[in-house]
Every structure is written in structure tokens, then in C-alpha cells.
Amino acid sequence: MTVLKSALALAAALGLAAAVAGPASAQQAEKPKLTLGVGGKPLLYYLPLTIAERKGFFKDEGLDVTINDFGGGAKSLQALVGGSVDVVTGAYEHTIRMQAKGQDIVSVIELGRYPGIVLVAKKDGKIKSVKDMKGAKVGVTAPGSSTNFFVNFLLAKDGLKPDDVAFVGVGGGASAVAQMKRGELDAMSNLDPVITKLESDGDVVVIADSRTEAGNDKIFGGTNPAAVLYLKRDFTEQNPVTTQKLVNAFYKTLQWLKTATPEDIAAVVPEEYLLGDKALYLAAVKNSMPIYSKTGVIPESGMKNALNMLVEFDPELKAANVDLAKTFDPRFVAKAAGAAK
């Protein structure tokens, strides 16, 4: 049985299908006011969240969503576990790690099919490849975040360990750019528009790039799901209509992004996201457009690639028996797609 078929069977066994039967738009959300956590909202990794917010797609579904922006994905996960946020837009890998820890965190729509994370090194520095990184000071959005996992995986592939480098949390905005420019870091794992800014200014050289299909094939051997909407399974059981409405809003966003130009996107996001340089932002958007999910569905191959990445450097996951079917519930996006036809 495939992972997706297993996930559907699990949903049926839980008896949830009936709870979300019928048009969600015609039903009242159980929790119309809710809080969403994210780690680095201005990053293009999370562009679907900003579009859903700014285009009014949450409001169209009758939802009042308060967004809490944390310093990195690990912090938004902590907020979900601690109960200070209801849902999170974050890295799919977190659902795997939490399942391994016995905590039932599930994703309900894929927002990014490629991570879009780029490892760069200081130009004219000693680092020319991952093998040169031993002893390096490496900036990541936050320790324990997907940008951190990305470096861990690359290190493991070249026979190094995470503790062979020193990780520093730098966030995902202007401060990250400034720290790299000041020479405080030897390398950095980050996303656009931060990466395109540093590239265009000639401050860095690219070591590994997961923004393109070719880059993902080289690094992971195929797609590797990135940003998703994830939440506690208890929430989906207790609030199926609310969950459906959230997925509807994000699905509408993915459809909008399919035909949007970089100029369309720049016109929607807050001006501060442009980092004072609209042309640069447009270039960053163009570089990152391939990363967004076309269907909202996480393919089985992508789930396996994500698990294989984590197993490469995480001894705890090597010993864990992770049921990937529990990391993604496809029912909500299937219903959103059906309603959109």
C-alpha cells in the first residue's frame, strides 16, 4: 500500500471523512479566530502565507488569522507544541521528527515542493565546497530549523558531522545579510530574497542550491517537500471545517501563484519585504518561482527523500520506525481541489 493510500485509509479509519463532507464554505468554522506560527515570514519560502493573508483568502473563508512570526521554524514548532499557536506554516521535516518522538503532528497541504534553501560561502574565503567547512561559523535562520537540517545533510554526505561547524541563528531578513557582509560568518544557509541580495552584491559564492529541479536532483535525488501547513492531529479532528477552510485559502494561493508574475507578487507583499531594492526582489522571486507546489499534494517520493535526508545525520531517526502516512493527510487538499474545478 502506498503512503498516500495508507494516509487515506487512516483518515477513513478515524471516521473524519464525514465530518468534512459538504461545502466547507457553507459551514461555520469551529474556530474562526486562530493563531498561525511561522519562522521568517518575509522569506520567499513562506510566500504562500503572505499571499493568502494580503489577498484576503483567509477572510474569504471566514477566518480571522493572527500571524506570529518567529526567528526560525524550530521556534514556531515549539509554539505549536506549547499551545501558543494553533497551526504552523513550516518545514515538512518537522512532521517526521515529531512522529518519531511520538507526537502526532500532521501536514495538510504542501506549499513548497523544493526547499529553496541555498548554502553560500564568503567570497574569497577558504570554503570552496562542503568538504572545506570543518571549523566554519555557519549562519542559519535558527538552530534546529530547516536551513540547519539542510547543512547537516550536506555535511553528512561529505563525511562531516553537525558539530564540525558552529551554527549561528541569523534570522531571514536584513540582519542575516548584514552579518554576512560584515564578515561575521564563513558560510550561510538561507533563502531568498537574502541569497539573491548577497549574490547580486558579489559577497558570496554558491555551494549548494535547492531552488531548481536540477539542484534538487543533485542534492536529494528528486523533490523534497518544503513549506507545508502543519498542526496537531487533534486539531483536525476537533476542527475539521476550520482546517478545510485554511487549506482552501492556501490552495487558492497556489493556483494564483501558477500564473502570477514577479511584478504581481511584488505588488502584493509589504514594501519592507523588498529590502529597499525592488529590482533585486523581482530577481529573487524569479529565482524562487520553481519551488512552489503545483498541486498541494506531497508525493510519496518526496516524503521518502525528506526522511532519507534526516536519517543521514540524525541518529534518533535512524533507529525510529516512522510511518510516513501519518505525516500528511491528503483529504483536505483533495476536497479543495475538487471544489476549485
The answer as to whether 218 is a domain residue is no
Could you tell me if residue 56 is inside a domain?
yes
Higher pLDDT, 111 or 313: 111
Q: Is the pLDDT of residue 105 over 50?
A: yes
Tell me the percentage of the chain whose pLDDT exceeds 70.
92
Pairing of strands 227-232, 105-110: antiparallel
In-domain check, residue 128: yes
pLDDT tens-place string over residues 106-120: 999 999 999 999 999
The cell numbers describing 183, all together, are 564578515
Residues 227 and 333 in one domain: yes
Domain that holds residue 17: 3-114+223-340
CATH number of the domain where residue 250 is located: 3.40.190.10
- Specify the pLDDT at position 19: 41
How does pLDDT run across 5-32, given as a tens digit for each residue?
554 444 444 444 444 444 555 689 999 9
Q: What is the mean pLDDT of the chain?
A: 91
Choose the final residue of a domain: 159, 184, 209: 209
Among 339, 330, 340, 333, residue whose Cα is nearest residue 106: 330
Total domains in the fold of the chain: 2
pLDDT of residue 17: 42
Phi, psi for 198 (deg, rounded to 5): -65, -40
Q: If you average pLDDT over residues 76-103, what whole number do you get?
A: 95
Which of 163, 187, 209 corresponds to the end of one domain? 209
Residue 155 has pLDDT above 50, yes or no: yes
Q: Of 274, 340, 309, 279, nearest to 96 (Cα)? A: 309
pTM of the predicted model over 0.75? yes
293 within a domain of the structure (yes/no): yes
